[in-house]
């Protein structure tokens, strides 16, 4: 698979629902503006592909659906209602900063077929080469994996590997991954860097985010997929303004999961 030859480093940015809503019940335009302004600032050195959750969270702002006991189908329906709204917010907000966006919906089955994988790589490379920022979400109306398992964490890692990203940044609601010992104290301590995935697994508790279906467990699983694909993962606090720029300039606490 031929990769883009822009000379820029490729960042796969994964944004969870808890970040996009700033842990409220509404999508935060301010947070999407924050993401756009950072990309505008970094675009001379980095090119971006975004994996974004949030379609269900957007829909919940507008509608309440009857479930008839079919909870997963309601979530799929909500995703279908919310996805165009989510893309519109991205498009309008990014356009104000002169950034172009495009939508890509992927399913896990796309990663199992060679033809699909080639198509994804070729399409996304053309978009990026033409200064479009692909915004990827799982095709929730046909797939239930993301809704059930992990708020797009796994999808972001698989996509990062497929697209030969240089770095996977997972934006979440903590300052990275905390040490197990510190979780019981008043002051949590961030694991600054490690290449030992097993060590990370030993540190995490079953923590779950309010909107997302993930937790630290799925983020560590994602970093393991990325590490096997030769990609470093950063787990950063996306609730904070300028979270990518600050991480790149080493001005914030976050976790680097390095290569072995």
Q: How confident is the model at residue 226 (pLDDT cuts 50, 70, 90)?
A: very high
What pLDDT is recorded for position 208? Answer: 46
> Percent of the chain at pLDDT above 70?
90
Q: Average model confidence (pLDDT) for the chain?
A: 90
Q: How confident is the model at residue 239 (pLDDT cuts 50, 70, 90)?
A: very high
Q: Is the pLDDT of residue 120 over 90?
A: yes
What pLDDT is recorded for position 146? Answer: 56
Global pTM value: 0.92
Residue 214 belongs to some domain of the structure: yes
Sign of CA pseudo-dihedral 157, 201, 218, 102: negative
- Tally of domains within the chain: 1
Residue 4 belongs to some domain of the structure: no
CATH of the domain at 160: 3.40.1160.10
For strands 255-257 and 232-237, give the pairing.
antiparallel
What is the C-alpha R_g of the chain?
Answer: 17
What pLDDT is recorded for position 195? Answer: 97
For residue range 140-156, what is the model confidence (pLDDT) as tens digits? 666 666 555 557 999 99
Residue 3 belongs to some domain of the structure: no
Q: Which domain holds residue 239?
A: 9-257
Residue 84 belongs to some domain of the structure: yes
What pLDDT is recorded for position 67? Answer: 75
């Amino acid at each position: 698979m031929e990769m883009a030859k822009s000379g820029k480093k490729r960042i796969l940015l994964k944004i969870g629902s808890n970040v996009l809503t700033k842990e409220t019940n509404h999508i935060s335009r301010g947070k999407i503006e924050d993401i756009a302004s950072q990309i505008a600032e970094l675009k001379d050195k980095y090119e971006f592909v975004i994996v974004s959750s949030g379609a269900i969270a957007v829909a919940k702002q507008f509608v309440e659906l009857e479930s008839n006991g079919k909870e997963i189908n309601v979530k799929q329906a909500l995703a279908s209602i919310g996805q165009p709204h989510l893309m519109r917010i991205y498009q309008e907000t990014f356009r104000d900063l002169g950034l172009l966006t495009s939508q890509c919906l992927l399913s896990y089955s796309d990663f199992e077929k060679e033809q699909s994988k080639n198509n994804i790589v070729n399409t996304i490379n053309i978009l990026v080469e033409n200064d479009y920022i692909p915004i990827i979400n799982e095709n929730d109306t046909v797939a239930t994996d993301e809704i059930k398992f992990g708020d797009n964490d796994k999808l972001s890692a698989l996509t990062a590997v497929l697209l030969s990203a240089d770095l996977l940044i997972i934006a979440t609601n903590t300052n990275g991954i905390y040490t197990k010992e510190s979780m019981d104290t008043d002051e949590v301590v961030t694991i600054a860097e490690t290449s030992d995935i097993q060590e990370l697994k030993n540190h995490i508790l079953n923590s779950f985010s309010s909107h997302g279906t993930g937790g630290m467990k799925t983020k560590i699983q994602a970093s393991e997929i990325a590490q096997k694909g030769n990609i470093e993962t950063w787990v950063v606090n996306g609730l904070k303004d300028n979270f990518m720029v600050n991480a790149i300039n080493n001005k914030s606490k976050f976790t680097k999961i390095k290569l072995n």
